[in-house]
Structure 1
Amino acid sequence: MAFEGIWNVVMPMGRSRELVRFSKTDLLSSLQIPSERHLLVAGLETKNDYFEGIPWIVIQHNLDVIRNITISTGPRTESVTKAVDLYLEQIKVRGNKTLSDY
């Protein structure tokens, strides 16, 4: 759901495997995240398939920091890269992680 342009995900849930629809709009609202790009940065910083995140910094702390980062609407790669760098500056504890780890 963190990918731009994906606004709904339907997946089987529970024992009955009933199909449940999840909405990105609802997710952004419930997490109080201002944009899709903020959600992407939150996913990158917390944990994803490519990067383990910084283990002692949990999602709630990440969201507190990420909510306050201004992410441009310019080219996606540049704006997300800059946002990750700003995040790393904000937390002041990089856990030996650099921008190139992302």
Structure 2
Amino acid sequence: MSESKMTRRDLAALAAGGALAVGMVGAAATPAAAYQGNMERAMSALYQALASLRESTPNKGGHREKAMELVQQAIAETQAGIVFADEHGGDGPQ
């Protein structure tokens, strides 16, 4: 299985897409939703981590692939947390 190398432009597009997705999640929530800077910064960091993992060489005994799966799961959970906080005014269980 061959891996394609991502350029800096690809990484920028991926990071921008992540920021856009976060913005869309916030826009779809209630109008009174509070800005969630920490969660949005976490999303950005997770997208950057995923891009770095995708760029790395695949000879890691399956650990790189597992790490990518876990980062994608973390992205989904972070997005769900943003939506939950927006829908519940940020006053939910941690």
- TM superposition score normalised by structure 1: 0.31
**Higher fraction of strand:** 1
- TM superposition score normalised by structure 2: 0.33
